[in-house]
Amino acid sequence: MVAIPLNEKALKLPEQERIAAEFEIPYRQYLDPSAQLVGEPPEFARNPDTMITLYRAMTLSRIFDAKAIALQRTGQLGTYPSSSGQEAIGVGYASAMAACDVMLTTYREQPAQLWRGVTLVELLRFWGGDERGSDFAVPREDFPVAVPIASQAPQAAGVAAAFKLRKEPRVAVCALGDGASSKGDFYESINLAGVWRLPVVFVVINNGWAISLPREKQTAAETLAQKAIAGGIPGIQIDGNDIIAARQVCGEAIGRARSGGGATVIEAITFRMGDHTTADDASRYRKEELVSAAWKLDPLARLRNYLANRQWWTKGDEEQLIASCREQVESAVAEYLKLPPPSPGDMFDYLFETLPPALEWQRKQFTGGSR
């Protein structure tokens, strides 16, 4: 990330001026890129079962991702947004949530969705163009992914307002991208979350890019976390490729929100390893060196090394895990490919309560009148 320095002259105060307010944006990291601990880690990081469970979830997501891209390339899936490289933050915030909390995310959050209980088949169904893939059997109240950028942020504030009105100890967790944090919807949501002291956590996934637009061309703000300050809520930046920091900081924010302490913005620094979607070719706008440097920060390798350094994980465990993830993914793909396609009439039937006459005509043209 390139920090844009403030104008030096602006910092020299004339005598009549004093500082009206000062703010700090903390940064948290426990596991550095060489898998060494920085400072005292939280308790869960010392528990092999917990850490292995997180690693398994991140690995399943990575393997699913590669398969989804291959399916798209062979005409068996629609446009798909890769989440490779972003597994730590996704699994981090999802694993810090309670089952009763509600997740509102952008596309690219498959690692979090899988943790919440969305199935591989549901993901394939959705990205295969069938909206029924969003009718999650398990996280019934989690929202379908938001493709219109930042639209889930005001919805998250609304969900949090409902929790507060009903006096339910639940939290809305909203994940959105660096690009989304430049949108009005985001600022409005932060404002509402601050003034109404809402139980909502905004996780800004700063993966460096909004399609082809690099982070430094989107905003002159030094951090994205500092946007919280304008709304009167805390903002913190974390190493989003460090699963320990991701889970811990999200857990702290979710806990604070649940106990009436209000909202938080967490900026997670990560990197989008793949293309924006399968409809993109990132090699046209970013250099290979940048991507190979980012691979050195890979969250999966970092956690694997952490586990291996503690003798919690062997080569055999790794081989077994990969084989079992592949099996799960293959069996989900087989099930997905057998699903009957949705009826073209659905797009008319589920958009309006009463179909406008012009669309009634289109519907007949399209479906021949059948449901």
Ligand X SMILES: Cc1ncc(C[n+]2csc(CCOP(=O)(O)OP(=O)(O)O)c2C)c(N)n1
Choose the one of Mg ion, ligand X, none that binds residue 92, judging by a C-beta under 5 to 8 angstroms depending on kind: none
Using the minimum distance from each CB to ligand X, give the nearer residue, 130 or 178. Answer: 178
Distance CA 169, CA 177 (A): 27
DSSP, residue by residue, 44-77: GGG-HHHHHHHHHHHHHHHHHHHHHHHHHHTTSS
Kindly state the smallest distance separating residue 273's Cβ from Mg ion, in Å.
12
**Catalytic residue check, 107:** no
Q: Is 211 in the site for ligand X (CB under 6 A)?
A: yes
Kindly state the smallest distance separating residue 178's Cβ from Mg ion, in Å.
4
Kindly state the smallest distance separating residue 226's Cβ from ligand X, in Å.
17
CB 111 within 8 A of CB 90: yes
- Active-site option among 108, 272, 302, 304: 272
* Residue 114: alpha-carbon gap to chain centroid: 12
**Number of residues this chain uses to bind ligand X (CB under 6 A):** 15
Helices 299-309 and 87-96: angle between axes, nearest 10 degrees: 70
Q: Residue of minimal CB distance from ligand X? A: 177
Using the minimum distance from each CB to Mg ion, give the nearer residue, 210 or 325. Answer: 210
Scan residues 71-130 and list those touching ligand X (CB under 6 A).
106, 108
CB 61 within 8 A of CB 83: yes
* Residue 106: alpha-carbon gap to chain centroid: 6
| Residue from the set 272, 302, 304, 363 that interacts with ligand X by CB under 6 A | 272
**Catalytic residue check, 276:** yes
Going through the chain in order, the beta strands assigned E by DSSP cover: 27-28, 102-105, 172-177, 200-206, 209-210, 213-214, 235-239, 264-269
CB 71 within 8 A of CB 333: yes
Distance CA 315, CA 60 (A): 17
Strand-pairing partners, residue 267, are 204, 237
Scan residues 50-69 and list those touching ligand X (CB under 6 A).
none
- Active-site option among 28, 170, 247, 276: 276
Is residue 143 classed as helix, strand or coil in its secondary structure?
Answer: coil
Residue matched to tokens 């320095």: 5
Choose the one of Mg ion, ligand X, none that binds residue 108, judging by a C-beta under 5 to 8 angstroms depending on kind: ligand X
Which of the ranges 18-26, 159-167, 208-216, 291-299 carries the binding residues for ligand X, by CB under 6 A?
A: 208-216
Using the minimum distance from each CB to ligand X, give the nearer residue, 178 or 252. Answer: 178
**Catalytic residue check, 27:** no
Token representation of residue 245? 């920091």
Using the minimum distance from each CB to Mg ion, give the nearer residue, 189 or 206. Answer: 206
Choose the one of Mg ion, ligand X, none that binds residue 97, judging by a C-beta under 5 to 8 angstroms depending on kind: none
Which of the ranges 8-16, 20-28, 177-185, 333-341 carries the binding residues for ligand X, by CB under 6 A?
A: 177-185
Positions touching ligand X (CB under 6 A) are 106, 108, 147-149, 177-180, 207, 209-211, 272, 276
Q: Which residues are catalytic?
A: 272, 276, 285
